[in-house]
Amino acid sequence: MAEPLISARNIKKHFPVGSGMLKAVDGISFDIYPGETFGLVGESGCGKSTAGRTIIRLYEPTDGELYFNGKNVYKLSRQEMQEVRKDFQMIFQDPYASLNPRMTVEEIIAEPLDIHKAYKNQKERRERVIELLKLVGLNEEHADRFPHEFSGGQRQRVGIARALALNPKFIVCDEPISALDVSIQAQVVNLLKDLQKKFGLTYLFIAHDLSMVRYISDRVGVMYLGHMMELASSEELYDNPIHPYTQALLSAIPIPDPEIQRNKQRIMLEGDVPSPINPKPGCRFVDRCRYAVDKCRQVTPEFLEVKKEHFVACHRADEIIEGTAKPTK
């Protein structure tokens, strides 16, 4: 296998809050390989966006190491970071909120070029903007308009053009399609896939929707309350989920074949996600897990490779794989 483009090691991002420490991301580790799409899923509030932002150092990490092309990004000086900034970009969930309504599309797309002084003159700047517009399926006529004149899908295309302006290598796509109409979602996903092929881009693709992540991702990580619970190739994760949380998330997705759907056991995810403020030791999923035993309350399970390239943080992973794990509730 190639060397990873991104290696995240024990990354933490804690926020001080009135009553203690909110551990949004609490020690996650994984690799992302060049040209791949790594999907990151989990319920609302589990730390996906914070993880994405911390990885590209939009947030200063509380702890951990992030290697990009072998360099420890968290140790770079401000000046060295300027260079790496060009390689890291982000596409946001809400194309309404993430584009400045008072700027024209040209100004929006050219902003990263302006910041990094990435052109010789105004003509070159304009030409690059037009080139970027065409890459995302828009054209020159769109350059002088304002965001409110566009549909949601078109605005997201503007966001993508802006993200591509400096020829990045790694893009965090934070739920880039969840605010869009279902009819438009596939178009934007296909655009992202085409651009990935064309430019050899590497994506961290954050989503709630497990079915969409399966379609777009090579490998998928499942987060719960700041911890990584399971990680495997998309196929392996969807065919052989091991972690009780992943099993519950997957059982909530309807299967198109009614015969399979009828025979499928639905695992209910009961209760809400607990607060990430001052979390208790032990497994973060314990209050909602149907396999929980005493040990789960005392010892945090390690994130281990339980099968080839399949990682799980669960004390009962081996029993679950063997099919001998009995539910405790």
Ligand X SMILES: Nc1ncnc2c1ncn2[C@@H]1O[C@H](COP(=O)(O)OP(=O)(O)OP(=O)(O)O)[C@@H](O)[C@H]1O
Residues 75-134 contacting ligand SF4, CB under 6 A: none
**Partner whose binding site includes residue 201, from ligand X, Mg ion, ligand SF4, none (CB under 5 to 8 Å by kind):** none
Distance CA 30, CA 10 (A): 9
Place of tokens 């040990």: 295
- Is residue 231 within the footprint of ligand SF4 (CB under 6 A)? no
Please state the closest distance from residue 59 (CB atom) to ligand X, in A: 8
**Partner whose binding site includes residue 155, from Mg ion, ligand SF4, ligand X, none (CB under 5 to 8 Å by kind):** none
Report strand pairing: 304-307 vs 227-233.
unpaired
Please state the closest distance from residue 216 (CB atom) to ligand X, in A: 17
Q: Select the residue interacting with ligand SF4 from 4, 221, 276, 301 (CB under 6 A).
A: 301
In contact, 147 and 157? CB cutoff 8 Å: no
Q: Select the residue interacting with ligand SF4 from 291, 303, 306, 311 (CB under 6 A).
A: 291
> What are the C-alpha distances in Å from 278 to residues 12, 48, 49, 54, 181?
14, 18, 20, 20, 38
How does DSSP classify residue 280? P
Residues binding ligand SF4: what is the number (CB under 6 A)? 13
Residues 13-52 contacting ligand X, CB under 6 A: 15, 22, 24, 42, 44-50
3-state secondary structure of 96: coil
Strands ordered across the beta sheet of 37-41? 88-91, 170-174, 202-207, 37-41, 219-224, 227-233, 310-312, 304-307
Stretch that binds ligand SF4, among 52-60, 80-88, 181-189, 312-320 (CB under 6 A): 312-320
Please state the closest distance from residue 273 (CB atom) to ligand SF4, in A: 14
Distance CA 58, CA 316 (A): 36
- Is residue 50 within the footprint of Mg ion (CB under 5 A)? no
Distance CA 157, CA 167 (A): 16
Q: What values do phi and psi take at 85, rounded to 5?
A: -50, -35
Residues 259-288 contacting ligand X, CB under 6 A: 276
Please state the closest distance from residue 25 (CB atom) to Mg ion, in A: 12
Place of tokens 């700047």: 125
Please state the closest distance from residue 206 (CB atom) to Mg ion, in A: 6
Measured from the CB atom, the residue of 46 and 108 that comes closer to ligand X is 46
In contact, 133 and 144? CB cutoff 8 Å: no
- Is residue 49 within the footprint of Mg ion (CB under 5 A)? yes
Binding site for ligand SF4 (CB under 6 A): 243-244, 283, 285-286, 289, 291-292, 296, 301, 314-316
Q: Give the footprint of Mg ion on this chain (CB under 5 A).
A: 49
